[in-house]
Structure 1
Amino acid sequence: MRKLLLAHGSALSNLALFVAVDTGLFERHGLDVEAPHFAEFSSTATLLRSGAAELGTTGFTQALVDHARPDPLRIVGGSGKLGMALMGQPGLGMTGLHGQPVGTFADDPMEVLLHDALQVNGMMPADIERVLYPSLAQATEDFMHGRIAALTVIEPWISRFERQGYARLCDGLQAWGGEYPDTLLVTRKSFLERHPEVVSAALRAMLDAKLAIEQTPREALRASAHRWPEFTFDELLAGVAAQPPIIDIRSMRDCIRDRAATLETLGLMKITPALDDIFSFDLLQQMLEATT
């Protein structure tokens, strides 16, 4: 098989994929893969929608938004959970956001988080000035220089900002009432049908990476720490503790599905009867059953 280009994001919720790449686990399971750096949040969605990448990790909302497209995405497993929050300037509360610029990212779960965080706190999207950023680097720079009042962010930024005195205004646990996935392992429907053995091998590599992260976190993280050069090793360890890897997300179907209503409200999708087809956990279930 030709080299697989893996789509991925920049959050620590992608750590299982990065560890699988950087420690040779994909290769050990017979896959030749490439996971280059992507600077913009839209890069992952673009690669998966264009077909340039047929497999990879992406925010859990993309499979929902794309569910009615030709050759839609299929969720075959997870990657990481938790680790998303709306952070505010020091001393700021949710009520202080009225009329203020608040940053988030289009085509990403954090856009949904902002909407739902406002809602659970009795606010409306019209109460703030929403600012959409193409990259995390630009957004965090504006936030740290006080150009925006609040920003939806991921780990390890959340842990760093909290240590620096910024306020955690609302996180995914509060907005959605329980544990949630951030990043998922997805593939295109046609690729899953043609190459289930490749998807199975990728899942095995991700499961092995998750085990390595849990059993020897320092060694596993050391292999992939170069992907977050702006953070110290201790900051990354704290981030992983707050956003741990998870591959078996079968219990999180409802959490993912329930976000479709917000996406429809935001005008990003229209719910159709094909929505439940996004879940394709057969290969994952077979693999987990074989190891128990």
Structure 2
Amino acid sequence: MRFKILAAAILILLGIAVFAVYSGSSNKDIPDDNDIIQKIEVNNSSFLEFSKDLDDFETVTIDIDKLRKAADSGHVFLRLMGEEYKIRIQEASRYTEDEYFYAGPVVGYNESRADLYLQKNSFCGSVGLGKPRNVTYNIRPTDEKYNGKTVYIVFMQDWKKEKERLEKMEIDPLQFFLINSDSKKHVMSIEIFDFNNESVFKENYTIDPEEKISSPKIKAELGQYRYEIILDNKFTFEQKIQADYAADVSSSEALYIYISDDPENPVTFGITVA
């Protein structure tokens, strides 16, 4: 189990996982008409084996100074997967002397949006094309260097293909765990309500000091569930949990319910993703 983190964090982990096998590969520059982004070819069997999980990808280096100057001018041209896209900057923020954020639509694409995060020597961003393409390019830095420059991975998410993949997956069942860290025995009632506010599970537990109780796995549908928890018929608590697809990086949340001898906080919660 691991604590759930922001969706953005999983993309950085992907870059790290991909480039764990990068060292020792053969690279060469490929000329690019857009000198902000320079594509790099990676010849590595382990890398190519991992790439089967991506819709498409490429490895590049990025000139951060040129990118920032272009964004300050109001328009950025980025060549991604062999295609050039013009981004019209409509939002610009400077967080610190070396941290910038730019955002705006991609010219010629409805409901599109690009988000560009720049630091002094690093960059990450996404370019979502919206309709009719419905694909998103994600750009993330890695720990690798090529000719002294940071190597970036650009990978594409095709949302139509993603939807088809998800529809083939099962929903990960819900599960919760009771942990009594108090020196006293307690009684706890737990009822779970679905997104239609209908009860899908209800049970009463008597839990001894230092005891841990695991619930059965509870069949669920995609969506948010509400836990109503009553301790010793006196204290009522509520917690919401998300049921999700049983995938490696996206599965249902598990709820940990801790009982303590703290009179101000007799019950606390922890949420993890399997």
TM-score, normalised to structure 1, is 0.20
Considering Cα pairs closer than 8 Å and 6+ residues apart, tell me whether 1 or 2 has the greater RCO. 1
Determine which structure has the larger helix proportion and give its number: 1
TM-score, normalised to structure 2, is 0.20
**Rg (Cα) greater in structure:** 2
Determine which structure has the larger strand proportion and give its number: 2
